[in-house]
Amino acid sequence: MDYRQYRQMGNSLPAEESQTVFRFTGEIESITDGHTLWVRGENLTVPVSLIKTKCWLLPINEGEGVPEAPEKLNWNRVSTLSEGAKVYIGGLLKMRDNRLTFISNNERQLMVIFYNCPDPDLTDGIIRAARTRNEYWNSFTPVPLALGALVLIYIAASFLNRPAFSITVITALAAIFVPVYPIFPPGLLLTVLYRRLSWQARRYRAYWDLARLPLSYLPPGSKNAILSTGEKYGSVELNAFTSEAPPPQTPPLEHEASAQDTLTKTALDEIPFLIPEITEIRKKSRMYIFGVLNENSLLPQKSKDPFVSFGILPDSPQRLVRRYALIASSLEIAAWIVLLLGITINVIFIFMILFVFGIISF
């Protein structure tokens, strides 16, 4: 949103109808009334109502390959951030007190993200940061764990006075502590391996998200689309080649014939890879360059919108999505097998100790 759009909305719509979804980026200017955040853009300052708003802190530094997980902030803690911190706002813009203000309501929650990376890297940073968390542990996880522990305690107490069911009692009591078994030896070594495999799986999930990102701008079955900026977005397909060899001659595709006649690797060096860790292009693959298509340029260009995906994918995005999804799923399955194996080893180890001390007998 820019100043022109802001003024047009304020002048054209009645107060009760001035309600539209926009996004805005800028820096913290001040906080008034304890809950109104003023964000200063290039030529516009916009108020943001923080009441019932979920705020996130994205601690990404330039050049950092593995960002930390995003931190959720209560709206009343935003005042602790320093003036000049960068802010991304997305949500409902409504007329309030004769000013267009970003607000949250029951139907649409406002998104407020504080960050310190360049604007073009924000989308990449959000995707990677969101994948750093273990998705199987969340705010609801402790509840079923507690309920399960209570059920096991009840089972153990029910058979406590029945010697014939001593194995049942010991098994129930041992099962209560299953969630902490992974942090004890000898299964601890497998837990370390599980964490490594799990991290690799989440990394490939992030690659999967990044490979799908350019496709989100294109309607199903279409190779290009018109962005909100009015620019034409799409991709150029090129054969992979090295700096020692010119691009091979192939039957031309759309936007490709003239490009392959004149392009060199030097020109491509100026275009980033959408997944910086994945830059190797297989011999039989074709690189896909996503960006704004311009008749006056051989290669796609950056959009006026800094959040639009611009860069190279080393293969067809559909193939990359399938490949990364398969790798991620395989790593996740392997990680869980390793974790369960470590827990099993610890359970067997505990029963062996109990047997040696004569507490149980088989």
Residue range 156-198, pLDDT digits in tens: 888 888 887 888 888 888 888 888 888 888 889 999 999 899 8
User: Final residue of a domain: which of 66, 97, 129?
Assistant: 129
Mean pLDDT score of the chain: 81
Q: Which amino acid is at 197?
A: L
pLDDT at 258 over 50: no
Q: Is the dihedral of CA 179, 181, 187, 192 positive or negative?
A: positive
Q: Looking at the domain assignment, is residue 18 inside a domain? A: yes
We report the CATH number of the domain holding residue 68 as: 2.40.50.140
Q: Decide if 35 contacts 50 (C-beta within 8 A).
A: yes
Q: Are residues 123 and 10 in the same domain?
A: yes
* Burial category of 166 from C-beta neighbours within 10 Å (exposed 0-12, middle 13-18, buried 19 and up): middle
What are the C-alpha distances in Å from 71 to residues 27, 114, 115, 133? 19, 10, 11, 11
**pLDDT reported for residue 320:** 94
pLDDT confidence bin for 44, thresholds 50/70/90: confident
Q: Looking at the domain assignment, is residue 272 inside a domain? A: yes
Query: Within 10 A of 108 (CB to CB), how many other CB atoms are there?
Result: 13
Segment 275-289, tens digit of pLDDT: 988 877 776 678 899
Q: Are residues 122 and 230 in the same domain?
A: no
Helices (H), the chain: 3-12, 122-130, 142-158, 166-176, 188-212, 257-262, 265-268, 317-356
Q: Could you give the CA distance from residue 92 to residue 48 in angstroms, rounded to a whole number?
A: 10
Query: Within 10 A of 22 (CB to CB), how many other CB atoms are there?
Result: 16
Q: Decide if 250 contacts 260 (C-beta within 8 A).
A: yes
Q: What is the DSSP letter of 151?
A: H
Query: Which residue range forms the structural domain that includes residue 10?
Result: 3-129
Q: Could you give the CA distance from residue 24 to residue 2 in angstroms, rounded to a whole number?
A: 8
Please give the average per-residue pLDDT across 28-44, as a whole number.
86
**pLDDT reported for residue 310:** 94
pLDDT at 60 over 70: no
**pLDDT reported for residue 244:** 37
pLDDT at 256 over 80: no
Q: Decide if 186 contacts 343 (C-beta within 8 A).
A: no
**pLDDT reported for residue 245:** 37
* Residue 86, H or E segment: strand 86-96
Segment 297-318, tens digit of pLDDT: 888 999 999 899 999 999 999 9
pLDDT confidence bin for 362, thresholds 50/70/90: low
Q: Which amino acid is at 224?
A: N
Range ranked top by mean pLDDT from 77-81, 169-173, 274-278, 338-342: 338-342
Q: Decide if 324 contacts 332 (C-beta within 8 A).
A: no
pLDDT at 294 over 60: yes
Cross-strand pairs, 291: 234
**pLDDT reported for residue 137:** 67
**pLDDT reported for residue 259:** 44
**pLDDT reported for residue 293:** 93
Counted domains in the chain: 2
User: Final residue of a domain: which of 129, 152, 182?
Assistant: 129
Segment 235-255, tens digit of pLDDT: 998 876 543 333 444 444 444
pLDDT at 17 over 60: no
Q: Looking at the domain assignment, is residue 38 inside a domain? A: yes
User: Considering just the CA atoms, what is the radius of gyration of the chain in Å?
Assistant: 28
**pLDDT reported for residue 81:** 78
Query: Within 10 A of 49 (CB to CB), how many other CB atoms are there?
Result: 19
Q: Looking at the domain assignment, is residue 356 inside a domain? A: no
**pLDDT reported for residue 243:** 38
Q: What is the DSSP letter of 98?
A: T
User: Final residue of a domain: which of 129, 155, 177?
Assistant: 129
Tokens of 280: 């190797």
| N residues, the chain | 362
pLDDT at 326 over 90: yes
Q: Looking at the domain assignment, is residue 359 inside a domain? A: no
Omega before 182 within 30 of 0, i.e. cis: no
**pLDDT reported for residue 291:** 94
Q: Could you give the CA distance from residue 282 to residue 304 in angstroms, rounded to a whole number?
A: 32
Q: Looking at the domain assignment, is residue 281 inside a domain? A: yes
pLDDT confidence bin for 19, thresholds 50/70/90: low
Q: Could you give the CA distance from residue 338 to residue 192 in angstroms, rounded to a whole number?
A: 10
Segment 99-134, tens digit of pLDDT: 888 888 877 888 899 988 888 888 888 888 877 666
pLDDT confidence bin for 92, thresholds 50/70/90: confident
Least confident range from 47-51, 231-235, 287-291: namely 47-51
Q: Looking at the domain assignment, is residue 310 inside a domain? A: yes
Query: Within 10 A of 33 (CB to CB), how many other CB atoms are there?
Result: 10
Contacts of 282 (CB under 8 A, 6+ apart): 240, 314, 315
Q: Looking at the domain assignment, is residue 288 inside a domain? A: yes
Segment 206-225, tens digit of pLDDT: 999 999 999 999 998 888 99
